[in-house]
Structure 1
């Protein structure tokens, strides 16, 4: 349920928490960090996963002494995955709470409206999950995106395809299909992949989209199957990927599948779809996180302890952002017990974390538009009858080799 405040409650909160939303007047009080994320609605699973990742990051940070001797606490507001609600909650944090910055753990469409308000109000928005490069291309000054962008994803798709198909005559020897859900996130990725393939002289055999709310993807999959692709590049979320995989099994349609986004790599997938069929597809996904990376051992162990499962991509993205925030907050709170928005903006702009310091595959350094120029995508593939998901690309961080294309 989205948090609602009366003027009396708001006044009381402001007197206790202070006016920043990310600090308290009493130096011994926890530092409260506002987060926008979908906790209810069709995309609630993403927000719930992000919430778990941030909470585990907070636990690790607090166990290590916190920030300037103070614990951190993430305060979650439900965007419902809706752009208008995300903007309203962003405005509440900024105007009512006078927050010096906000964490955005949301889909691209909702992040887009939050970023617009962040720019207009001069409030740093630290993006955890949205991959749309379109937001970054607006040249905002107050938006910082740690996440890989759809450009990075498209680059990783084509690089992996090139590596995968080299022993079989190269990328031009394959019949490649594109499939994606029709949000700005999916459409952006699909278009970028197509353009990169065209630069290499590859024309996709079929390109189609669908509404992510659709749960009967049999007609869509039948259309793709009729083009007889050897490789399917597919951008989607968990729910629509599950529906699509079930349709593929019904059609006995088994191309080599390269997914994009959290859906194809969701650790719950083998419980939702026939694991043997997932194995037949050699299903893999372009990602920013995989539980087998050594640098996220704390997260993987703690998550398994709490939930008896492996963390999903969204858990990993949020956790990694929390670890990055530790570096940012340590810098600003070392200078002031009451950092301003300008202090936070400067800290994000000056951030320079090497690959050895991050909880992600790459480094972290923002350019003038808030793009993480150190971001690096990876490819994770379901292995051993879909019982585990291994990092298979790039070779520098791979824990297993990718399954060869037939």
Structure 2
């Protein structure tokens, strides 16, 4: 179901997107923005996020667009780094003057984007990041995915249910990874487990052998990890070389952590995923397979799909591209919006409070339900 993805060039991505708009209508399009990682450590995820954006945009325009005009999503590459992600958001605001921006993927990139957009009184839709710090961004920020305090409790309970009581954990040394380590440790201890050691790993290294050996010295029942796809491939390869995969491994956001990993090095891993398809998502799933000739490559394309669709619905409901009006419309829609990923409801802080999760494992190189 979910496997590695070929890198898509930014030029090709924009050509595919723009082709939809030119044929939609002669009218000036209504533009919104998106900042996603089309290069860097999470390029695999970003390319799949782009697919969700493409399908949603095509569907919106096939039904008349927004405010009687075609919808255009201006996609910018974050490069997977905070400075370039922030530059991309600035460009969308100062050059393109968009009222709303979708993005990014990593919490370390999403946070500065969100802070900037809120300061500029634009709407920010978070389609993937889970750091608890997102809750504090303020008016104008909306999260379409559950945050770490919910996800880590699910993971802790799932691991305890497997009979694993002594864990070690490794995650990126950024806002996302630090939140995962902190919240998982809290919930696992509360459930009766022990976290014997934890490491926040430096991003972008070519080896994590030292970190893995350090964790192995604690003699855990289970290795818990979360990693961006390219770094996950290094971690899984070196864990296999060190013989550490003889101990169970549990991936926090398993498709992200294993997307670029060799099937042999990730075989048998357990983990969780955000639900990638809801009760009403069958039509989207069919459209994805028809357009790209394969099943979902990651779990994240549906969240950018939902982001574009709910943004378009909010603009139409507002009857305006004014950010304040769009924000008010999003709050109304967020009382019960049926998306491809399930029902989306927002709490008082505009965070998704109805996030479903899936228990997954890797079998013959593919992620399957267990």
Deviation sequence 1:108-157 (CA, Å, 0-9, x none) = 12211111112222111111122111121x25111111122111221210
Question: Residue 36 of structure 2 corresponds to which residue in structure 1?
Answer: 37
Question: Residue 288 of structure 1 corresponds to which residue in structure 2?
Answer: 274
Question: Residue 317 of structure 2 corresponds to which residue in structure 1?
Answer: 331
Question: Residue 243 of structure 2 corresponds to which residue in structure 1?
Answer: 252
Q: Does residue 346 in structure 1 map to residue 319 in structure 2?
A: no
Counterpart among 153, 172, 190 of residue 181 in structure 2: 190
Question: Residue 394 of structure 1 corresponds to which residue in structure 2?
Answer: none
TM-score, structure 1 as length reference? 0.77
**CA offset at residue 27 of structure 1?**
9.0
Q: Distance in 2 between matches of 1:36 and 1:315?
A: 14
Q: Distance in 1 between matches of 2:157 and 2:194?
A: 16
**CA offset at residue 318 of structure 1?**
1.6
Question: Residue 149 of structure 1 corresponds to which residue in structure 2?
Answer: 147
Q: Does residue 372 in structure 1 map to residue 352 in structure 2?
A: yes
Aligned residues: 347
CA contact (8 A) 1:262 1:313 kept: no
CA contact (8 A) 2:149 2:183 kept: yes
TM-score, structure 2 as length reference? 0.83
Q: Distance in 2 between matches of 1:76 and 1:139?
A: 23
Question: Residue 205 of structure 1 corresponds to which residue in structure 2?
Answer: 196
Q: Distance in 2 between matches of 1:274 and 1:47?
A: 21
**CA offset at residue 193 of structure 1?**
0.2
Counterpart among 265, 268, 282 of residue 297 in structure 1: 282
Q: Distance in 1 between matches of 2:322 and 2:310?
A: 19
Question: Residue 180 of structure 1 corresponds to which residue in structure 2?
Answer: 171
Deviation sequence 1:318-364 (CA, Å, 0-9, x none) = 223233334323322xxx2x331111110122223548x22124x32
Question: Residue 11 of structure 1 corresponds to which residue in structure 2?
Answer: none
Closer/same/farther in 2, CA of residues 382 and 262 from structure 1, 3 Å limit: closer
Question: Residue 322 of structure 1 corresponds to which residue in structure 2?
Answer: 308
Question: Residue 309 of structure 1 corresponds to which residue in structure 2?
Answer: 294
Question: Residue 45 of structure 2 corresponds to which residue in structure 1?
Answer: 46
Deviation sequence 1:77-118 (CA, Å, 0-9, x none) = 222222233333323322333322221233212211111112
Question: Residue 4 of structure 2 corresponds to which residue in structure 1?
Answer: none
Question: Residue 134 of structure 2 corresponds to which residue in structure 1?
Answer: 135
Question: Residue 397 of structure 1 corresponds to which residue in structure 2?
Answer: none
Closer/same/farther in 2, CA of residues 242 and 219 from structure 1, 3 Å limit: same
1:70-89 alignment, distance < 5 Å = 70-89=69-88
CA contact (8 A) 1:349 1:367 kept: no
Q: Distance in 2 between matches of 1:261 and 1:93?
A: 29
Q: Distance in 2 between matches of 1:37 and 1:72?
A: 18
Closer/same/farther in 2, CA of residues 354 and 58 from structure 1, 3 Å limit: same
Q: Which has the larger radius of gyration?
A: 1
- Indicate the SS of the match to 1:286: strand
Bigger drift between 52-61 and 84-93 goes to: 84-93
Closer/same/farther in 2, CA of residues 90 and 139 from structure 1, 3 Å limit: closer
1:350-361 alignment, distance < 5 Å = 350-352=332-334, 354=336, 357-361=338-342
- Indicate the SS of the match to 1:116: helix
CA contact (8 A) 2:114 2:137 kept: no
Question: Residue 8 of structure 1 corresponds to which residue in structure 2?
Answer: none
- Indicate the SS of the match to 2:99: coil
**CA offset at residue 76 of structure 1?**
0.7
Q: Distance in 1 between matches of 2:154 and 2:109?
A: 25
Q: Does residue 273 in structure 1 map to residue 262 in structure 2?
A: yes
CA RMSD of aligned residues (A): 2.7
Q: Distance in 2 between matches of 1:139 and 1:81?
A: 20
Question: Residue 161 of structure 1 corresponds to which residue in structure 2?
Answer: 159
CA contact (8 A) 1:50 1:314 kept: yes
CA contact (8 A) 1:236 1:263 kept: no
CA contact (8 A) 2:144 2:352 kept: yes
**CA offset at residue 294 of structure 1?**
5.7
Question: Residue 61 of structure 2 corresponds to which residue in structure 1?
Answer: 62
**CA offset at residue 65 of structure 1?**
4.3
Closer/same/farther in 2, CA of residues 211 and 38 from structure 1, 3 Å limit: same
Bigger drift between 71-80 and 178-187 goes to: 71-80
